[in-house]
Structure 1
Amino acid sequence: MKTKYPIILVHGIAIKDLFFIKSFGKIDRHLKDEGYKVYKSNIDGFGTIENNAAILKEEILKILEDEKTTKVNIIAHSKGGLDAKYMIEKLGMEDYVQSLTTLCTPHKGSPIASSILKLPKWMLKIIAFWINFWYRIFGDKKPDSLTVCKELALVDDIEKETFKISKRIYCQSYSTKMDKAKDDFIMGIPLVFFHHFSKDTETDGLVGIDSTKFGEYKGCAFEESISHSEIIDFFVTKKKRERIYKFYSSVCADLSKRGF
């Protein structure tokens, strides 16, 4: 194990381990091959922040017991960063987390979520019903897509949303940017909607760069166009995949140098 403490990858909304789909592609396998002790979370794809935080807490306590260690390093993507923050601050886990790295996390919300909530209530209920129905079949314990959408909406009271993470925990954040809709067919449509509903010019397709800033903001992880979903190795070209793997390796190497 190259880092002092094991690493747990926490996925965001919708994309979870399901059949041939993996929440972090082969990133966990790549890091394991490099000698890191890596786990992946199995929180709900459409679980609320509160419920997912409770699941994540149990997962981490199990890791600590199995590894006979005292802390973990969390690398969280998208909403997974919000779940992890809530777990640390609200569920008494500040003594069990050494570092929290968030990737493309909407700490200040997303204009797309805010816009979805403007749809007629009857339409929102129908959409939420079917999302919850299918994700319950896919293994979610308590899917609640409508509440999740509300939790991801733009935040007016930023201090209330970001909480105050213990100073004993090293917090850092990264963003990515998507230049054109054709750069990623998965995020192409959300990118168009984002620019329609938001004045922000830089986004990963779902989250504005300003919203991703938390703790020590390290900037965009890549100079090239990498979307919200590509950073977790979801339908990525071979050329991009190599750079994405290299990024995760550099994050873990930095944690190791810091003694984490």
Structure 2
Amino acid sequence: MPTFSASAFQRLTGLESRPQPSVIPTRLPVVMMHGFGIGGSLRRGGHLHEQAMYLRMRGVRAYAPNVSPYNTVRARCQTWQAHIEHILEETHSDAVTVIAHSMGGLDARFLIAQMGMHEHIKALVTVSTPHRGSTLANLVLKQPDAVRSWLADITDWMGTHIIEDGSANSLQTVRELTPSFMKHSFNPNVPDHPDVAYWSYAGQAGRDTPVPLTPLLRYFNTHLYEREGINDGFVSVESARWGTFKGTVDADHVRQVGMDAGFGGANFDANAFYAQIAMQLRSAGW
């Protein structure tokens, strides 16, 4: 029988004394809210499901529900509210924290300011949310009528069929994502609530950054860069800043939710990123 030292045998077997990952004992459940579009819905479980399951393996009571991906904030929030009420009941908790990607952050702000959910949402962390809109919305609205109608028909059809009881109003949603609407209508009517903590992250990739960009976002990235500066292909850093700004994420908009569109080329761990946010929530007492 071969003779091995204890250390050599351990290296050979790779057996660790504590093989399970450390838990993240957040006090409150974490609700992960997705943004506009069906990209994440093409994966089993939908938007942010994989990240929620990763957090669950670390002891976080994480949920990533899905709502109609091509509808307005007001319409989506009816479903979000029902989801959160279900989570509160299931977990026997009186409050949650929210991590929201992209348009999901606008939904969460509306829930808090206009639907009384400030009593049940203690903290909101937004990731690449267009708090000041996106000039990409203007780009869509400037297309010829026939093109706009064609795009609206396709996205509305997908929005109503991809989820049970789905609904869609994609063209109106795009109108409400313009910088003008956000400045003159949404933000004045959706103020931050003093009882809720607001944190934000922004994404950066492509132009004027060392971060690889998913090729499909190259035109959008350039368009935004010329008008708003550094961005992640959909939302600029400046637009994403809100409340306590926690910094930039070296990932484009789709990689922030664990997608790479099959192109690879970026070293970004979305699961670890959201686990980091959960750790910060835990440290803050939530």
TM-score normalized with structure 2 length: 0.82
Aligned to 2:186: 161
Question: Are 2:217 and 2:233, in contact at CA under 8 Å, matched by a contact in 1?
Answer: yes
Q: 2:203 aligns with which of 162, 169, 176?
A: 176
Give me the whole-angstrom Cα distance separating, in 2, the residues matched to 1:68 and 1:256. 18
Structure 1 residue 189 corresponds to structure 2 residue 219: yes
Aligned residue for 1:17, secondary structure, equals helix
The residue number in structure 1 matching 2:284 is 258
Q: Partners of 1:238 and 1:121 in 2: how far apart? A: 37
Matching of residue 12 in structure 1 with residue 49 in structure 2: no
> TM-score, length-normalised on structure 1?
0.90
Q: What amino acid maps onto 1:146 in structure 2?
A: L
Q: Deviations over 1:78-123 (max 9, x none)?
A: 0011111111111111101011000000000001111211122343
Report the counterpart of residue 246 of structure 1 in structure 2: 272
Shift in Å, 1:135: 2.2
Task: Give the letter for the 1:4 counterpart.
Answer: R
- Relative contact order, higher structure (CA 8 A, sep 6+): 1
Tell me which of 248, 252, 256 is aligned to 1:220.
248
Cα root mean square deviation, aligned: 2.2
Answering whether residue 140 of structure 2 is matched by residue 116 of structure 1, we say: yes
Q: Distance in 2 between matches of 1:31 and 1:102?
A: 17
What percent identity do the matched residue pairs reach? Answer: 23
Which residue in 1 is equivalent to 2:25? 2
Q: Radius of gyration: which is bigger? A: 2
Note the C-alpha offset of 1:245: 2.4
1:50 maps to which of 74, 89, 94: 74
Seen in structure 2, the aligned counterparts of structure 1 residues 238 and 187 have a Cα distance that, compared at 3 Å, is closer
Aligned residues: 254
Contact 2:47 2:66 in 1 (8 A): no
Separation in 1, partners of 2:99, 2:52? 11
Query: 1:160 offset after TM fit, Å?
Result: 4.4
Change (3 A) 1:136 1:95: same
Which ranges in structure 2 are unaligned for 5 or more consecutive residues?
Answer: 1-23
Deviations 1:192-225 (A, max 9, x none): 3323xx4322000111111001111112034xxx
Counterpart in the other structure of 2:230: 202
Which blocks of at least 5 consecutive residues in structure 1 are unaligned?
Answer: none
User: Separation in 2 of the partners of 1:114 and 1:48?
Assistant: 16
